[in-house]
């Protein structure tokens, strides 16, 4: 077992603090295709407004997504991955490969 003070354990704990929410991975997957409006994400994931709002606030606070308000009527809010968020794609690929190997 890895010591909780080991750099690897600390790093993984920090990553899980950011991405460990129920919807975080799904939201990041949605945004890998490009920026989306709040309601597009909500409809695509069939997620409640509160759950999506909470997850996006966490991802934005951690520098994974950006939030842009477009003031043209009607006012819309669009979310996009930051460089930090886009860089997580490699992790998704490895997770997918692991899943195909061990879960199918």
User: What is the set of domains in the chain, with CATH numbers?
Assistant: 21-102 (1.10.10.10)
Q: Which one of 18-32, 50-64, 79-93 scores highest in mean pLDDT?
A: 50-64
Are the C-beta atoms of residues 18 and 64 closer than 8 Å to each other?
yes
The angle at the Cα of 100, spanning 96 to 101, to the nearest 5 degrees, equals 115
Average pLDDT rounded to a whole number, residues 45-60: 97
Average pLDDT rounded to a whole number, residues 50-76: 94
Token pair recorded at residue 43 = 């409809």
Is the pTM higher than 0.85? The answer reads: no
Average pLDDT rounded to a whole number, residues 74-101: 92
pLDDT over 70 at 82, yes or no: yes
């Amino acid at each position: 077992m890895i010591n909780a003070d080991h750099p690897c354990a600390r790093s993984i704990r920090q990553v899980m603090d950011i991405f460990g929410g129920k919807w975080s991975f799904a939201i990041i997957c949605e945004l890998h295709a490009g920026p989306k409006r709040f309601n597009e994400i909500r409809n695509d994931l069939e997620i409640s407004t509160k759950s999506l709002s909470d997850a996006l606030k966490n991802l934005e606070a951690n520098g994974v997504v950006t939030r842009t308000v477009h003031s043209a009527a009607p006012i819309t809010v669009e979310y996009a991955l930051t460089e930090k968020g886009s860089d997580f794609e490699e992790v998704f690929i490895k997770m997918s490969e692991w899943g195909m190997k061990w879960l199918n």
